[in-house]
Amino acid sequence: MSGHSKWSKIKRKKGSADSKRSKIFSRISKEITVAVKEGGGSDPSMNPRLRLAVLNAKGQNMPKENIERAISKGEKDGTSLVPIEFEGYGIGGVAVFIECLTDNNNRTVAAIRAIFNRRGGSLGTKGSLSFLFNRKGIFNIPVKKEMDMEALELDLIEAGAEDIEVDGDMMIVTTALEEFGKINKKLEELGIAPEKAELQRIPTLEKKLTVEDAKKFLNMIEEFDENEDVQYVYHNLAMTEELEEALDEE
Confidence grade of residue 111 (pLDDT, cut at 50, 70, 90): very high
Taking 80 as the threshold, does the pLDDT of residue 167 lie above it?
yes
Give dist(CA 148, CA 171) in Å, integer: 13
Give dist(CA 241, CA 125) in Å, integer: 32
Please tell me the pTM assigned to this model.
0.87
Which of 244, 240, 231 has its CA nearest to residue 198?
A: 231
Identify the sign of the CA torsion 217, 218, 219, 224.
Answer: positive
Confidence grade of residue 9 (pLDDT, cut at 50, 70, 90): low
Give dist(CA 177, CA 189) in Å, integer: 20
Confidence grade of residue 1 (pLDDT, cut at 50, 70, 90): very low
Average pLDDT over residues 216-239: 95
